[in-house]
Structure 1
Amino acid sequence: MASMMDKPSEQFSKEWNRLHSDSVKWAGAAHKFGKAVFPMWVADMDFAVPQCITDALSQRIAHPIYGYPDHDLHVQESAVRWMQQQYQWVSEPENFILVQGVLPGLFAAVRAFSRPGDGIIVMPPIYPPFFEAVEQNGRHLLSVPLLDGGNGRYHIDFAHLEKVLDKARMLLLCSPHNPVGRVWSRDELQQVVSSCRKHGVQIVVDEIHADLTHTWAVHTPLATVDPQCVLLASASKSFNIAGIGGAIAWVGESEKKSVYLAELRRSKSLGMNTFAKVACQAAWDAGASWLREMKDYLEKNALYLQSFLHQNIPAVHFRPPDFGYLAWLDLRSFGLSDAELHQRLLNAGLGLNAGLGFGQEGSGYVRLNYGTQCARLRHGLFLLQQALPS
């Protein structure tokens, strides 16, 4: 397995010093963990963005006036072309709405299509803001935990889902699913949609990680299965521009779009800033080849991680995810409490996301970000080995 790490792509193997670049992952780690740690936590990558984004931003910055951006459809047209190229999904530019980010768009959808006290389904372990979108908006959380098939591959608990749908107004779907690493199959999505339609439940889906789907999986945009859904996507994860912001929301029904737009305006979540528009359009227009090379690098990292754990820490259970750079590591076999795991990792100087942050179902797990240079990945894994009982 070591051979696949011998000749990494030069642009992704370059180690950038991010400590003085206003990086929450690096500079903010000491505040997050209470001490200096090697950061493999928050979901951004240590790779430079593609040159097409740098060039487009530089060209825009060269014009020294940064006033309000126009309400044209250029970004939406780029999104349409991107979705067609990547997923063979054909849509109209007018169905895409520019929003400040996936989370502002998600929170706005909760307010637009449900009322205080309504039941909203989430499937933990899941990205923590899903809980916040429900509870901070005064809705009732309905938890339908995912099922672990015993081999690290999670499944939707359709029997449980059917039992709670009659109490729900909405389902918040994470597709692909962070942190467990699943890209849901078309059959699974069709079953979710069929169940929700029977009960009149609105689906809002976060597809921010979709472009990072690996070669061993196929992502299906939910809108191709459920034209009644609200779909949120962005270039931020796939092209490492989360600090710039910006996302798109797809709404296929005109009446629903009007309701959503009203809430976006009310909450001041509508639109992208000037530089987000430039970066997203450049990514979707000219970033495909960079993305392919970067995903190849991530796949090699995932397989190296799997090999290292098998050879050196076999008690850690890990299945390479279907997408991205987030490893969901099962440490339950060590018999340690979550507090003990946390302290051991801190003592070793390694910063990971605690599984409990993704719901009670994450107890005994950690999330490790391997979206970094292979040399840094090796270092982080050696720290993990030191942290855990031999």
Structure 2
Amino acid sequence: MNDPARPGRPSAVRDGIADRRTGNSGPLLLAGRVGQGMAAAMLSPAALSLVVTIFEGDERNRALGIWSALGGSGAALGVLLGGLLTAGPGWAWIFYINVPVGLVLFLTLRSQLPAQPAPATRAALDVTGAALVTAATASLIYALIRAGDHGWATWTTAALLLVSALLYAAFVARQRLAASPLMNVRLLTRRPVATGTLLILVATALMIMMFFLGTFALQAHHRYGALATGLLFLPIALSTMLGADIAGRVIGRTGPRALAVTGLVIAAAGLTIPAIWNAVAPLVTGMAVAAAGTGSLFVVASATALGQVAAHEAGLASGIVSTFHEFGASLGAAVVSSIAAASIAGTSTDGFSHGFTTGAIVAAVTALAALAITPSSRSI
């Protein structure tokens, strides 16, 4: 089969060239992704804590709106940029492009960020806690992915879920006893922090589910190339930015509860459209509508979780929010890949509909939960 991006060159030849460029090493690719993940794990809470500590009141809400808009739209624009690179110099350039971008950002931040006082003491890394939570999450994600191939009602799936639950319980116990805990779980006993982490988890899971399903549906089912798929995600990026910007401007007047419910209802309505109609126009339109809802939800979640924490707790609270953000992404990808396994493999299209339906149900159920647990106070 010829590569549509470069007529006359078989795709197998290009794959071989790409393999030689990357060392033909799966472990090397995975190691690079792990390194990127570790860097992102440090950058995200650092950026969020700066927003919380530098800005106050309604100005903080607007800053969180900008932060959420950039984060959500960045994911959608990443699909577009990935399509441009894949259709042009090749998929390996999705890694090369990060090097100059990272250098420019490093120099910019070094000159623009305000100086921060060095901490009086440096806490030791809780290696045991990190190992426990990593093993627990890995067990959970593997159980969810495996269920797509082997079914949910199997002893192995049940055992993996049980192991994951036990490891999470051990992690919580460890955090309560550790001298320098990896995560201050006591912050999660506060209603605003707990609500915000739930909302950020659901918002991220919905967005990743949407991107995952949308990309495979457009490429595997509708036969669009990488570039065309990226371009179709442009309105989704704009919609995410619009939803986040509006939420950052009005949350001080409406309060988090009304905005959370509204965002989740919009997300549920948007995801229902491609669940019913699998044509390209309804697919893109529905994802754009849902993106506006999830974009606003990112602002509500961050403002709710971080709005009333003390300055010295900003870093810890931001770390919790960022942790649940990443956990939501992993959970969303694992669940939707399990539900839509047959469609991803190309044997049917029902999995895409089932995946969008699941997302709509999750958004609707979370809207009811948000109505009950989200603080109504406007002073966040």
Q: For this structure pair, what is the TM-score category when the shorter chain's length is used for normalisation?
A: under 0.3
TM-score (norm 1): 0.26
Q: Which of the pair is proportionally richer in strand?
A: 1
TM-score (norm 2): 0.27
